[in-house]
């Protein structure tokens, strides 16, 4: 929810690449030189009037802010690249540039070199992808950039040997008391169940690999480990080796993706794991002919008049990875998904269908079929919001249904799941769908304040459950990553990647979701928020290419207004992604005409979704301003701006729609337990 206006000092932060574990390197690749005169040049000219350049010339930035040189760089493998920019600056004034690698930027100084024929260089370290990459150097001042001669790119060879003592260690210790180890030591699992060693393994390309663990087990008791590759686990035995100074090897065949992979070896018994010396990775492991286990627990989770939603339990495979699942009706393939759920659409009302599911591993070995499940679609009728509109998409600056028609969704947001989950049960969501006639439920999962950070598994499962409950009722659902304090979304980036990966993998077959990836950023620049979006959106898109993504805006999602800006910062520098919208939040008793006018202008220029608003003050409490609220409601109806109100709970504040004590027993339908704001907003949600 919104907070009062405040001003924070900003500190420029340069994000550096992660350190790579100690390794035995593969054959190094020679640095690749890319001449500036052969690159894409905007608002600059190729010249050769100053001596000392390489190639056939250099680029003069022509004293223009925004001029750039963009290099197309093909990297032999994913990894960390050292990028050397050779330049000359014949003035005494620094000519800074923003250097963006695949859209992620850092600003560098290019000070005077004494003369235009005196060349110097600066080096930037950044992650690159296997294959195509872009490196853009953009002038940031009216003086333009320096003269640019070339970019020389050197990609560190991916590791093949990883020492355990340099990996991430949980509840274990680095020790040297037993002879025969390699490197500077080994990891003792300290006789703790759940202790683990986690390696980050860079692969030049996707494919099979042999993961060989060197270990010692001086007992006669097996010390098994769960070996998880990118989160998918397989159990392996690590039997006694005769002595703690006698080392042996166990190999696990796995499928790696291009770029970084996580390999975690976790002790599964109270004895802990063996002593672990190192992990060796050999690309192109033996071909895999073992098929995965058949999926279990196939079930129907929801039906509409035109669709059946299915879910099942995950399969396991000797490689540790499941590539995808296939849904069949008889011999006909109906869907292929990466997660453990799918929705089959385009079905006739009152029709019966029987499905089975198989799993495939990275070598395309397909499992036996699951047990079958039979489900019947509902009778035809006017239908739920999802039946009426199907898969949403962004068209132009509006939200559209599957037929490309502009629509407006109206609905409610939960309060924090850590505080008011008792308000979200079968009866309350039935009332929201049928009595309130809500199109959409916003599932607000706080990250801090006792939320996700305190128990990721518990809160992820709560979101899974609420998605299924909204789906069963034909409502759309916003999965709200409710970051609030701290206001910098980058603080929670790794957590967001983990969370949205699981959500997208499990629910990518559904057509009723939207992902809100940053609730209310504050105290940070728009470029920081944009950078966060550029890092998180590709993670989601790997698993779910179709669901619209909602990006928070600066100053508590006010499009910058609460910190003295407006929508122009987004219009001038939009997120480089498709099928996205930008969020706007307001509280009518605190936010007057400047906010209202900003929303009106912005909706004509960029796709906007009001994912949170209240009729009260910015604290979610205090007196209601229904007159100003109606002005917002009228504007949003006129411009088809979808909206969600805060909040569907019995919190004591005036912004909670139910009177204190309503949850969990209700009643939730009708107006008998509603506060004034609840009565007012229910009427607007229900309006034709």
pLDDT above 50 (res 325): yes
SS3 491: helix
- Quote the DSSP letter at residue 340: S
pLDDT above 50 (res 17): no
Task: Choose the most confident range, by mean pLDDT, from 60-74, 141-155, 229-243, 634-648.
Answer: 634-648
**Quick one: average pLDDT of 436-453?**
97
Banded model confidence at residue 251, pLDDT cuts 50, 70, 90: confident
Banded model confidence at residue 157, pLDDT cuts 50, 70, 90: low
Q: What is the structure's pLDDT at 322? A: 87
Q: What is the structure's pLDDT at 350? A: 83
Q: What is the structure's pLDDT at 156? A: 65
Q: What is the pLDDT of residues 357-413, one digit of tens each?
A: 999 987 778 999 999 999 998 776 557 999 989 999 999 999 999 888 999 999 999
Long-range contacts from 454-463, C-beta under 8 angstroms, 24+ separation: 454/418, 456/495, 456/498, 456/499, 459/417, 459/418, 460/499, 460/502, 460/503, 462/417, 462/421, 463/417, 463/503
Mean pLDDT lowest among 258-262, 371-375, 513-517, 628-632:
258-262
- Quote the DSSP letter at residue 156: P
Banded model confidence at residue 12, pLDDT cuts 50, 70, 90: very low
Mean pLDDT lowest among 180-184, 303-307, 678-682:
303-307
Q: What is the structure's pLDDT at 443? A: 98
Q: What is the structure's pLDDT at 381? A: 52
pLDDT above 80 (res 79): no
pLDDT above 60 (res 4): no
Banded model confidence at residue 22, pLDDT cuts 50, 70, 90: very low
Residue 19, judged by CB atoms within 10 A of its CB (0-12, 13-18, 19+), counts as: exposed
**Quick one: average pLDDT of 152-179?**
86
Q: What is the structure's pLDDT at 16? A: 28
Mean pLDDT lowest among 154-163, 501-510, 576-585:
154-163
SS3 30: coil
Q: What is the structure's pLDDT at 31? A: 79
Mean pLDDT lowest among 214-218, 331-335, 427-431:
331-335
Q: What is the structure's pLDDT at 522? A: 96
Q: What is the structure's pLDDT at 27? A: 35
Q: What is the pTM for the complete model shown?
A: 0.51
Banded model confidence at residue 458, pLDDT cuts 50, 70, 90: very high
Task: Choose the most confident range, by mean pLDDT, from 147-161, 326-340, 490-504.
Answer: 490-504
Alpha-carbon gap, residue 210 to 252, rounded angstroms: 6
Q: What is the pLDDT of residues 413-439, one digit of tens each?
A: 999 999 999 999 999 999 999 999 999
Extract the runs of DSSP E, i.e. beta strands, from 453-607: 476-482, 513-516, 549-551, 580-587
Residues 567, 569, 612, 617: which is the catalytic one? Answer: 612
Q: What is the structure's pLDDT at 639? A: 94
Alpha-carbon gap, residue 164 to 197, rounded angstroms: 7
Banded model confidence at residue 286, pLDDT cuts 50, 70, 90: low
Residue 520: active-site member: yes
Banded model confidence at residue 592, pLDDT cuts 50, 70, 90: very high
Contact 588, 613 (CB under 8 A): yes
Contact 543, 506 (CB under 8 A): no
Alpha-carbon gap, residue 36 to 47, rounded angstroms: 10
pLDDT above 60 (res 68): yes
Residues 161, 468, 516, 520: which is the catalytic one? Answer: 520
Residues 6 or more apart from 597 whose CB is under 8 A from it? none
Q: What is the structure's pLDDT at 490? A: 96
Q: What is the structure's pLDDT at 621? A: 94
Instruction: List the beta bridge partners of residue 626.
Output: none
**Quick one: average pLDDT of 121-130?**
84
What percent of the chain clears pLDDT 90, i.e. is strictly above it?
Answer: 69
Banded model confidence at residue 255, pLDDT cuts 50, 70, 90: confident
Alpha-carbon gap, residue 289 to 678, rounded angstroms: 60
Mean pLDDT lowest among 27-36, 174-183, 663-672:
27-36
pLDDT above 60 (res 523): yes
Q: At what angle do helices 456-472 and 426-434 cross, to 10 degrees?
A: 40
Q: What is the structure's pLDDT at 169? A: 94
pLDDT above 90 (res 652): yes
pLDDT above 60 (res 629): yes
Average pLDDT of every residue of the chain: 89
Q: CA 33, 38, 41 angle in degrees (round to 5)?
A: 120
CA 444 remoteness from chain centre: 16
Q: What is the structure's pLDDT at 306? A: 74
**Quick one: average pLDDT of 9-34?**
41
Q: What is the structure's pLDDT at 349? A: 79
Q: What is the structure's pLDDT at 336? A: 86
């Amino acid at each position: 929810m919104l907070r009062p206006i405040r001003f924070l000092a900003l500190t420029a932060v340069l994000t550096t690449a992660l350190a790579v574990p100690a390794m035995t390197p593969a054959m190094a690749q020679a640095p690749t030189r890319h001449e500036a005169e052969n690159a894409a040049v905007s608002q600059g000219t190729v010249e050769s009037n100053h001596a000392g350049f390489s190639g056939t010339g250099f680029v003069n930035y022509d004293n223009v802010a925004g001029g750039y040189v963009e290099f197309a760089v093909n990297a032999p493998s994913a990894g960390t690249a050292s990028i050397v920019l050779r330049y000359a600056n014949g003035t005494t004034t620094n000519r800074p540039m923003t250097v963006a690698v695949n859209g992620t930027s850092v600003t560098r100084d290019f000070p005077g070199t004494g003369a235009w024929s005196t060349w110097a260089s600066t080096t930037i370290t950044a992650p690159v992808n296997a294959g195509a990459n872009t490196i853009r150097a953009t002038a940031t001042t009216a003086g333009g950039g320096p003269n640019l001669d070339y970019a020389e790119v050197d990609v560190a060879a991916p590791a093949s040997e990883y020492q355990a003592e340099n990996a991430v260690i949980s509840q274990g210790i680095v020790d040297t008391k037993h002879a025969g180890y390699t490197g500077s030591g080994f990891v003792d699992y300290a006789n703790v169940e759940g202790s683990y060693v986690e390696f980050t393994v860079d692969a030049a390309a996707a494919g099979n690999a042999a993961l060989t663990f060197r270990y010692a087990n001086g007992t006669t008791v097996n010390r098994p480990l769960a070996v998880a590759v990118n989160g998918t686990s397989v159990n392996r035995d690590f039997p006694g080796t005769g002595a703690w100074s006698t080392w042996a090897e166990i190999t696990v065949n796995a499928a790696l993706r291009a770029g970084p992979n996580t390999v975690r070896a976790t002790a599964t018994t109270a004895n802990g794991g063996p002593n672990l010396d190192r992990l060796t990775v050999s690309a192109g492991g033996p071909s895999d002919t073992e098929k995965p286990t058949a999926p279990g627990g196939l079930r129907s989770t929801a039906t509409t008049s035109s669709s059946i939603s299915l879910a099942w339990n995950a399969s396991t495979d000797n490689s540790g990875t499941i590539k995808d699942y296939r849904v069949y009706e008889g011999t006909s393939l109906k869907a292929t998904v990466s997660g453990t759920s799918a929705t089959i659409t385009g079905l006739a009302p009152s029709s019966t269908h029987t499905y089975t599911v198989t799993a495939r591993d990275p070598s395309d070995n397909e499992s036996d079929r699951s047990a079958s499940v039979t489900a019947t679609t509902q009778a035809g009728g006017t239908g739920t919001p999802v039946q009426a509109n199907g898969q949403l998409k962004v068209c132009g600056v509006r939200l559209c249904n599957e037929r490309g028609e502009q629509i407006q969704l109206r609905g409610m947001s939960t309060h924090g799941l850590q505080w008011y989950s008792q308000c979200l049960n079968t009866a309350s969501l039935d009332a929201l769908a049928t009595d309130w006639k809500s199109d959409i439920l916003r599932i607000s999962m706080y990250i801090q304040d006792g939320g996700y950070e305190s128990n990721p598994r518990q809160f992820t499962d709560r979101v899974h459950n609420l998605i299924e409950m909204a789906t069963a009722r034909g409502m759309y659902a916003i999965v709200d990553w409710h970051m609030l304090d701290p206001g910098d979304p980058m603080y929670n980036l790794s957590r967001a990647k983990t969370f949205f990966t699981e959500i997208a993998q499990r629910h990518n077959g559904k057509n009723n979701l939207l992902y809100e990836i940053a609730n209310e950023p504050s105290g940070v620049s728009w470029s920081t928020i944009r950078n966060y979006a550029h890092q998180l959106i590709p993670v989601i898109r790997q698993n779910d290419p179709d669901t619209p993504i909602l990006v928070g805006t600066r100053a508590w999602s006010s499009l910058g207004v609460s910190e003295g800006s407006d929508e122009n910062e987004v219009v001038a520098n939009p997120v480089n992604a498709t099928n996205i919208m930008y969020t706007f939040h307001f509280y009518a008793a605190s936010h007057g005409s400047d906010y209202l006018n900003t929303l009106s202008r912005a909706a004509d220029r960029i796709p906007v979704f009001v994912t949170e608003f209240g009729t009260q003050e910015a604290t979610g409490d205090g007196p209601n301003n229904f007159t100003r609220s109606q002005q917002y409601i009228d504007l949003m109806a006129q411009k088809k701006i979808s909206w969600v109100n805060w909040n569907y709970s019995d919190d004591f504040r005036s912004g909670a729609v139910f009177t204190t004590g309503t949850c969990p027993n209700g009643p939730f339908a009708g107006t008998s337990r509603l506060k004034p704001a609840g009565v007012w907003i229910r009427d607007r949600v229900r309006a034709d």
